[in-house]
A and B are shown apart, each in its own frame.
Chain A
Amino acid sequence: MLLNNKHIKQFAVFFLACFLINYTWLVYNGLLFSQLQPVFFVNRQDITGNILMLFNIQHILINSREVRIIFDVIYLLLPVLLVYSCLKENKVKSILAVCTGLFITVYNYFFSITSFVSIEILLAWMLIPFIFIARKTNNFYFNLHCIRILFILFFFSAALWKIRGGGIFNPVQMAGVLVSQHADLIIHKENWYTKLLQYLITNSKLSYALYFIAFLTELFFITGLFTRRFDNFLILLFLLFAVFNYFLMEINYFTWLPFMGCFYFSKYKLPALNLK
């Protein structure tokens, strides 16, 4: 089937739905700038981020309640406007896509240095808006596939890092990870969840098997560079990865869900070139 405008709109709605759920999660946990009211930041070795910091945005956000509110409002408004313009096939869509991608990148950088949230898990919000820059269906196709390939490289690189860092060669790695990740919970109280964690830490072979499965999952994503045949399977693998990470590691990788739109819509072919 050929890629058409209906698919672009479906992807836009999917992105917005994910974004709004995430925004609601932020509100519920009191994590928006206006709720958090940060008083300090911890810088990162990030070249782009440090260029942004030259403009002193970090201190402005810490000192001005009004700026924090404006940031939160724009952060919500831009994706909504972007998706609305996609649905209406409005000409300002491209400009909105650039503004949304750039603003979300700025917002998330400062959000990550003033809160506890790691910036890596916020990547989808920064990159996906750029797919909608395209005015024509064929450009949308190429944008979608570029982001799909980038995500594959990101995800696959996690497996390579496990080889480089040596984690994959350490038979007690997952036990060590669980200890580091959940020590505070286990020490403070005993319930079914902490008992499960203790069981996994004690049975390091079993926990290592889980780590190895995660490694294989990350490794398997490389197939996406050569074929789109497994894309539905990759979506399933990612969902399992996200569920297990949330349950066992308390890390929310569901924020990467919008990337799965790239894998879902990859099956549609380009009208002009009819790629196989």
Chain B
Amino acid sequence: MFLKYLYANSKTRFVLFMIITASFIFLNIKWGAVATPLYQYGMFSGRMYPADTQKIYHIYVNDKLVDLNTITRAKKDLLLITLEKFEKEKEINDLVFISMQKIFSYAGVGSFMKEDIYKNNIPDQLFTHYYQKLLQDVLDYHVVKTSIYSQLYRWHSGNFLPASSPEKLPFFVTE
């Protein structure tokens, strides 16, 4: 009934609404690329298990482990997800560039996509410097020394047990 009134009121609005709705449904059925502002709302829909291996970052500032419980949730995410994203940025950006170029090429505009625009050109030293400044801003004290380790853990019998030895992040250059 609403669609009937919408059509009667404005055909342009009706067509636009139908295109947006159809695109949203299509993108969701297709399961792959999205098109802002039409997304896929997976919200933890894929199967997840407690025994799945978890990668954990241990951040040491001035030789002390940073207590993530003492900062806001957003700041905790900022510290951890920044590391996680930087670790994967090259791989993800390369993969996305290839898949997007394919889609753009279908539309005949693939040649407009210049690879350097879709990539970062950030040396590890610059990221390290950036992250140290970020730590200083978030923790609100002077950061002299920083070291970051990643370690795999697995949930077992009501607790997390280490599944690997701690490894220093290779892209975090403090020397």
Interface residues, chain A, with chain B CB atoms under 8 Å away: 25, 28-31, 37, 39-50, 53-54, 56, 58-59, 105, 109, 115-116, 119-120, 123, 126-127, 138-139, 142-143, 145-146, 149-150, 153-155, 157-158, 160-162, 164-170, 172-173, 175-180, 183-189, 191, 193-194, 198, 201-202, 204, 211, 218, 250, 252, 270, 273, 275
Contact = CB atoms under 8 A, between A and B. Distances in A.
Interface size class of chain B, counting residues whose CB lies under 8 Å from the partner chain? 35 or more
A188 B149 CA distance: 13
A3 B70 CA distance: 48
B112 A46 contact: no
A273 B89 CA distance: 53
Q: Mostly helix, strand, loop or mixed at chain B's interface?
A: helix
A5 to B, nearest CB: 18
Interface of B: 1-2, 5-6, 8-10, 13, 17, 20-21, 24-25, 28, 32-37, 39-50, 52, 54, 56-57, 65, 67-69, 72-78, 80-82, 85-86, 88-89, 92-93, 96-97, 99-100, 103-104, 112-113, 117-118, 120, 122, 126-127, 130, 137-138, 153, 155, 158-160
Contacts of B93: 41-43
Nearest to B54: A183
Given A142-B6, A150-B21, A180 B48 contact: yes
Contact of A161 (B32, B41, B97, B99): B41
Chain A interface, >50% SS class: helix
A139 B80 CA distance: 45
Contact of B9 (A44, A142, A193): A142
Given A29-B75, A40-B122, A47 B56 contact: no
Nearest to B25: A153
B45 A164 contact: yes
A54 B112 contact: yes
A165 B34 contact: no
A179 B89 CA distance: 24
Which interface residue of B10, B43, B160 has the most chain A CB atoms within 10 A? B43
A29 B74 contact: yes
B99 A123 contact: no
Given A28-B72, A149-B21, 17 more contacts: A29-B74, A54-B117, A105-B37, A126-B36, A143-B13, A150-B20, A150-B24, A153-B25, A158-B43, A162-B45, A183-B54, A184-B76, A185-B76, A187-B56, A189-B68, A211-B44, A273-B5
